[in-house]
Amino acid sequence: MTTPDIMHATIHIAGVDEVGRGPLAGPVVAAAVILHPDRPIEGLADSKKLSEKRREALDLQIREYAHCWALGRAEPDEIDRINILQASLLAMQRAVAGLTAEPQLALVDGNRAPQLSCSVKTIVGGDSSEPAISAASIIAKVARDREMVELDGRYPGYGLAKHKGYPTKQHIEALQVLGVTEIHRRSFGPVRRVLDNCEF
């Protein structure tokens, strides 16, 4: 972490991105990253276009070399209560609020912006074009993937470690056989249909 005098004249620009809007289970996780101008990180890219091994390596570098970073999240019950879009924006707000340096500008992937105390610019495809957003997408995905692997041990049979909660054939079939857990998003169609056909 840098000392305040080194960054005195620097405008802090945070990259912000989220992962996990599409899954049927688990939280939506967002990250905010302010990169350090004197500690460049090579190979930053959209997390979805990187191998797991490469994401893991970059995750370590981002956490070590970035000026600061933070994660935010919204839980399945929040997703069900306010919808996935609003939950994603809430997770982004929480991530930015967790930064140890206050950004003057937040670059947000996509076309919808969370309400922040700083200026905000949305960029469609920003996770591929803006290094700070790429960094945010990487640490958010690595964090969420690790959590889904951990949840697989607590909720065996659904295949969470493999598909990370997305609506694969395996996941939907497991829902029909094993039922809905507390980590499932009950407002999502495939989960809702299982609940409608069963008594809990």
197 falls in which pLDDT band (50, 70, 90)? confident
Q: What residue ranges do the domains of the chain occupy?
A: 13-155
pLDDT tens per residue across span 42-71: 999 999 999 999 999 999 999 999 999 999
pLDDT tens per residue across span 6-31: 444 578 999 999 999 999 999 999 99
Identify the pLDDT of residue 113. Answer: 95
Identify the pLDDT of residue 159. Answer: 98
Residue 200 has pLDDT above 90, yes or no: no
pLDDT tens per residue across span 81-111: 999 999 999 999 999 999 999 999 999 999 9
CB 158 within 8 A of CB 175: yes
* Strands 13-19, 28-34: pairing kind: antiparallel
Identify the pLDDT of residue 6. Answer: 40
Identify the pLDDT of residue 8. Answer: 42
pLDDT tens per residue across span 114-137: 999 999 999 999 999 999 999 999
Tokens encoding 101 = 């340096």
Residue 196 has pLDDT above 70, yes or no: yes
Identify the pLDDT of residue 199. Answer: 53
Topology (CATH) of 13-155: Nucleotidyltransferase; domain 5 (3.30.420)
DSSP string, 22-47: S-SBS-EEEEEEE--TTS--TT---G
* Residue whose token pair is 């947000």: 108
Q: Cα separations (Å) of 86 from 12, 13, 78, 164? A: 25, 23, 9, 21
Helical H runs in 45-125?
Answer: 52-65, 76-82, 84-97
Identify the pLDDT of residue 5. Answer: 44
pLDDT tens per residue across span 150-184: 999 999 999 999 999 999 999 999 999 999 999 99
Rounded CA gap, 71 and 58, in Å?
A: 16
